[in-house]
Amino acid sequence: MDSIVVTGNGPLSGRIDIAGAKNACLTLMPATLLTEEPLTLQNAPRLSDIRTMTLLLQSLGAEVSALQEGRVLAMSSHAIDNQRADYDIVRKMRASILVLGPLLARFGYAEVSLPGGCAIGARPVDLHLRALEAMGATLDLRDGYVHAKAPAGGLRGGIVDFPLVSVGATENALMAATLAKGTTEIRNAAREPEIVDLARCLRRMGAQIEGEGSHTITVEGVDRLGGATHRVVTDRIELGTYMLAPAICGGDVELLGGAIELVGAFCEKLDAAGIAVEETPDGLRVSRKNGRIRAVDVTTEPFPGFPTDLQAQMMALLCTAEGTSVLEEKIFENRFMHAPELMRMGARIEVHGGTATVHGVEHLKGAPVMATDLRASVSLILAGLAARGETVVNRVYHLDRGYEHVVRKLSGVGAKIERIQGS
């Protein structure tokens, strides 16, 4: 397996292009299943998860072409000949469940394997199923598959009232509701930018949607959707990750395409820790203020709160902060697997259930470490930027699911980093 070698070598300086959002693109791609007409996505990230979703859509009969070095995805679902999403593909990525709502809405039937993804705790699909049942679907879970059937005449509008906020379930419900008969009201909906981006794309396709970005989304179903061209929103998690690079080892880096509204709660914590963030005509500029990083407490929450997908990276920063920080994980259990690896680098961390207490140390030291999931992978790379000596991050295949060209982007601003091909 490949590994990434990082050697701390001081402050960073330069500019980093931020890609389109992985989580937005993985939601927008299944929207092609809702129409016979072409759907084109611009600003697509070049990631293994995007390739996995491409294979899944192609297995259903969709045509997907990557143009302009993968930055543009041209899709057409005019010849769908299969409504079964097989385990062999779905097991690789949790977002595969997002084909369920579109297939059911357009064709009236779908079989989708229960999904896989990072091992960061239980992430059941019951909320997805609950939403489709509210629109009249009949569901049967057997042999590891969800067998879903719409009533005669198709899905019908209803009240979808989520007991918990779920991004994926909101996305599935939103797509299914666009072709349902009548009005669907999605209550306690997720408010993430990726939800807003999906709604904008669906509206370009002819959907009638109101309220995206709030806790209540109203959808008036239409008979059919058309094609569209849509630009994928900036990846706020990649943005936040690279904002931490100059924060953790000093310097001044501009993140092209960044916007405060995508990472507002995150920026508040950076400011409290002693990191300056300023808007520029092209994005955001990040630099460390005078002195050592200050300890801050962090609690992960649904958007617009602090993102769970930036918790591991924030922990890497706080390992060398002055004082003690407390990080509380409220979205996923089992999401502190990076803590023992950071401790191998000299960090002082105590984990009790969903809370991690980080006692800042003067410096970290390079060590061989192992990535356990996508965000843990990049947190160890960030830690290595500020560590003394060489850090070797093993099992970095997770990284390819969510970050394109990490080595190129970080080395472009002065980091000493390289990828070593495994046998």
Annotated binding site for phosphoenolpyruvate: 22-23
**Which phi-psi region, left, alpha or beta, contains residue 276 (left: φ > 0; alpha: ψ -120 to 50)?**
beta
* Two tokens, residue 204: 């370009």
Query: Which residues, at least 6 apart from 423, have a Cβ–Cβ distance to it below 8 Å?
Result: none
Residue 160 to residue 134: CA distance in whole angstroms = 6
Residue 325 to residue 98: CA distance in whole angstroms = 37
Active-site position among 25, 118, 201, 267 = 118
Q: DSSP letters along 207-241, please?
A: -EEE-TTSSEEEEE--S----EEEEPPB-HHHHHH
Decide if 201 contacts 244 (C-beta within 8 A).
Answer: no
* Two tokens, residue 196: 């807003």
Residue 10 to residue 295: CA distance in whole angstroms = 21
Residue 382 to residue 392: CA distance in whole angstroms = 12
Query: Which residues, at least 6 apart from 291, have a Cβ–Cβ distance to it below 8 Å?
Result: 274
Residue 398 to residue 118: CA distance in whole angstroms = 8
Binding residues for UDP-N-acetyl-alpha-D-glucosamine: 94, 123-127, 309, 331
Query: Which residues, at least 6 apart from 223, have a Cβ–Cβ distance to it below 8 Å?
Result: 179
Q: What is the DSSP letter of 361?
A: -
Decide if 136 contacts 173 (C-beta within 8 A).
Answer: no
Q: Is 118 among the catalytic positions?
A: yes
Binding residues: 22-23, 94, 123-127, 309, 331
Going from the C-alpha of 369 to that of each of 74, 316, 318, 390, the distances in angstroms are 39, 13, 18, 11
Q: Which of 245, 238, 237, 239 is nearest to 386 (CA)?
A: 245
Rounded to a whole number of angstroms, the distance between the first and last alpha carbons of the chain is 6
Residue 146 to residue 100: CA distance in whole angstroms = 9
Q: What is the DSSP letter of 94?
A: G
Decide if 195 contacts 239 (C-beta within 8 A).
Answer: no
Q: DSSP letters along 96-139, please?
A: GGGGHHHHHHHHSEEEEEPP----SS---SHHHHHHHHHTT-EE
Enumerate the active-site residues.
118
